Structure 1
Amino acid sequence: MRRVSVDHELLRRAVADPEVLHWHTWAALAPGPSLVVLGAVHGNEVCGAHAIVRAIDDLTHGRLRLLRGRLTLVPVANPLAFAQATREGERNLNRRFLPQPEPQDYEDRITRQLAPLLAQHEVLLDLHSFHTPGDPFAMVGPRNNSGAREPFARAAEEMALARALGAQQVVEGWLEVYDRAAGLRGELPDDEGIGTNEYMRSQGGYAVTIECGQHEDPEAIDVATRAIHGALAHLELAHVPAPPRFAGPAARLKDVVLRESPADRLAQDWHSFDAVQAGDVIAHRADGTPVAAPYDGCVLFPHPEAEVGQELFYLAEPDAG
C-alpha cells in the first residue's frame, strides 16, 4: 500500500522543525470534560496525524464547534520519528513516558512537554496503527484496583469511551501482559511499560488507544476521524455523527510468546483477532517444536519480523466479565 503523503501545512511544519511541538486547544465557556487527542506517537503511524489536522481544519472553519469543555489536538506527538517515517526517533516514546529531571534523549525531551499537557486533561484518545493487516480495535487498561503497579478507579468510564469509537473490537489488560513479557526476558517490571495511557491514568484521568488499521492504509485516516467524532459525541463536547457502538465482549490479553531465535516463525499469516482453539499451532520454534494455543481464544499483535527477545504474538480470550 502507498504511504499517505504529508499534504498539510501543519504536518510539513512538524517535519521541517522537529525541535518544536505544536498543539491546538479550544475551550468552550460552558463547563464539561477535557479531552486531549494524540497523533503520531510513533512516527510511522500517520493516520492519527492526518485525522487530527482534518479536525483542526473543521474547528478553524466552523464546520465543527466545541459546545462545552476543552479540547486539545496534537497532530504529531513525535516530530523526529514522523520526519524519519520511523516508529521512534531515538527510542520508543510510548514505553517510558515519564518526565525525567535530566532528559537523556529526544523522547525524554518530548515527554517533558507532553506529560504536563496530558495531566491538564481528564481524557486521552491516542491514535495508532499496526504493521500487519487486520481490523481496527480499541485498547483499555486495567480493571479497577488498588494495586501498586497501576491503581485505577475509572474502568467503567474508560470502557464506555472505547465502545463509542467505532471499532468493533476492544482489548483490555495491556500492562499486566507486557510485564509478563519483561519477565520472560529476565527483566523486572519497570518504567519501560509506562506509555501515554498509563501516565494519564496515573494522573487521575482515563485513556483509550485506538489502533486504526495497517500503517500505510489510507482508510485508517477515516477510522481515526470516526474515533475522534465518537469521543466528541460520547463526551457531549460537540454535535457530530456518532459511529456505531461496540456491544460485544472485550478480548482480555492473557499470554505472550517471545521470539527465541531468528528461525522461530509463525505457522501462518495470522491477523489480530484470528480465532484459535486449544491445541491449534500458532508458531514453530527453530527446531520445529510447535507453539500451540493452550485455550480457546484469539491471536493478537502477530509480528513475523519481531527481533529475538521481542513479542512474536499475544493471546487473548473473551472477557467473561
Structure 2
Amino acid sequence: MSSDPLAATATDSLRIHAFASLNPGPRLLVLGGVHGDETCGTAGIERVLAELDGGAFQLLRGELTLVPVANPLARRRLQREGERNLNRLFKPQAAPADYEGRVTNVLCPVIERHDVLLDLHSFQSAGEAFAMIGPRDNTGSLEPFARAAEEGLLALHLGTPIVVEGWLDIYAAGLAQRAAGGAVAEDAIDFGRGTNEYIRSCGGYGVTLECGQHQDPEAPEVAWRAIRRALALLGMAPLPQGLAALPPAPPRLLRLASVTDRLHEDDSFVRDWATFDAVRRGEPIGMRHDGTLLCAPDDGFIVFPNPLALPGAEWFYFARPSERVLGPAPAAAA
C-alpha cells in the first residue's frame, strides 16, 4: 500500500447516503465532486445531509441518494482528474484500466436504480451559473431520448439564468473535425458520454448544473438551492421558506454550435474571456501561433474558454440562442 496520501489506493470507497420514504415516488440521485477541484456540489450536498439529519425536513415520497464526493482521488489532489476525466467514457467496463474506470463501475449500478440525476459541477473561467440538458426527443443513433420535457422542466426549476443544450452533438462534431472528415470510431464518441448520458441510456433523465466559477463563494448556495428545488419539483420535499419554486425570470436558452481546439501552445485569446461573454459576427476571439485570427462565425456567446487547454484539446465553445421550449409544450389554442 502506498504511503503517498495523494495516491490511488485499493481501500478507497465512495460515501453514498440513501434515504427512502415509505411512500412511493421518484428516485433522485445527486452527485458532487465528479471533478476534484469542483467543491461547491459537495458543500451543497453536505448542507442537505445536515438538514435531513437535523430534522429540518423529511422526505415525503420516493428515494433520495446523495454522493458528496464521486471521485475521492481527484478530491484528495484538489484537481480535475485522478487519472482521467471521470465524466467521460462513463459506462461499465469489464476490465477498468484506471482509477476512474473503477469508480464508474461502482456508480453505474447506482445510476441505473434512479429515475433522475442532478450532477453538480463548477467551471474554471469567470461566468454565470448555468444548467446543461441533453437532446430533444429523437430516435437517432447518437443519443435517442424520450424524456426531454421532464428534463427541460427540471432545468427550468433549478434557478440558473442560462440553460445550454447540444453537448454530445458538438462533441461528436469536434471528433469528426479532428478526423478531417473521416469516420469517427464509436469508442471515441463514447469518451464524450458522462453521467447524464448514462442515465438517459438507462431510461432516466438528468441535468448537469454548473454552479459558477470554482472559487465563487455563491456556488455552494447555488448547489443547495438546486437540490431543494429539484426535491420540491418532484414532490419529494417542501421548498424551504423564502425559496421560490421558480426564479423571477425564465432562463435564456443557448445551443452549442461549434467547438474550437487549441492546436499550439502559443495559441492565445485576444482577451480574457468569461463563459457567456457575447460576441458579434467577425469579432476576434483568439489568435493562432502563426498569427491567424479566429473570429466569431456569427452573433453568439463564448462558452468554456480555457486559456490553459493543452494542444489538441477543446479551447472554447461557441453557442447561439435556441428556440427550444423548456418543459411541456404550450397547449394549442382551441
Measured against the shorter chain, the TM-score band is over 0.9
- 1:276 is aligned to 279
Contact persistence 1:299–1:314 (CA under 8 A): yes
2:137 is the alignment partner of 1:134: no
Report the CA distance between 1:273 and its aligned residue: 1.0
2:35 is the alignment partner of 1:42: yes
Report the CA distance between 1:52 and its aligned residue: 0.5
Q: Deviations over 1:155-182 (max 9, x none)?
A: 1111110111111100001001011222
Secondary structure at the residue paired with 1:253? strand
Q: Identical aligned pairs, as a percentage?
A: 52
- 1:74 is aligned to 67
- 1:162 is aligned to 155
Contact persistence 1:229–1:242 (CA under 8 A): no
Give me the TM-score of the superposition, normalised by structure 2. Answer: 0.89
List runs of 5+ in structure 2 lacking aligned partners.
Answer: 1-7, 325-334
Taking the aligned partners of 1:155 and 1:24, their CA distance within structure 2 comes to: 28
Q: Deviations over 1:25-71 (max 9, x none)?
A: 11111121110000000011011011101111110110121111110
Secondary structure at the residue paired with 1:190? helix
List runs of 5+ in structure 1 lacking aligned partners.
Answer: 1-14
User: Among 317, 320, 324, which residue is 1:317 paired with?
Assistant: 320
Instruction: Report runs of 4+ in structure 1 exceeding 6 Å deviation.
Output: 15-18
Contact persistence 1:18–1:79 (CA under 8 A): no
- 2:5 is aligned to none
1:244 alignment partner AA: L
Secondary structure at the residue paired with 2:29? strand
1:235 alignment partner AA: L
Secondary structure at the residue paired with 1:73? strand
Distance 1:149 1:77, change over 3 A: same
Taking the aligned partners of 2:11 and 2:216, their CA distance within structure 1 comes to: 24
Taking the aligned partners of 1:279 and 1:140, their CA distance within structure 2 comes to: 28
Q: What are the residue-to-residue correspondences of 1:108-147 with 2, within 5 Å?
A: 108-147=101-140
Report the CA distance between 1:190 and its aligned residue: 2.6
Taking the aligned partners of 1:18 and 1:49, their CA distance within structure 2 comes to: 21
1:21 alignment partner AA: L
Q: What are the residue-to-residue correspondences of 1:1-321 with 2, within 5 Å?
A: 19-186=12-179, 188=185, 189-240=188-239, 241-242=243-244, 244-245=246-247, 247-321=250-324
- Superposition RMSD in Å: 1.6
Taking the aligned partners of 2:233 and 2:274, their CA distance within structure 1 comes to: 29
Contact persistence 2:232–2:245 (CA under 8 A): no
Give me the TM-score of the superposition, normalised by structure 1. Answer: 0.92
Q: Deviations over 1:112-149 (max 9, x none)?
A: 11000011000000000000111100000111111111
1:183 alignment partner AA: A
Taking the aligned partners of 2:311 and 2:27, their CA distance within structure 1 comes to: 41
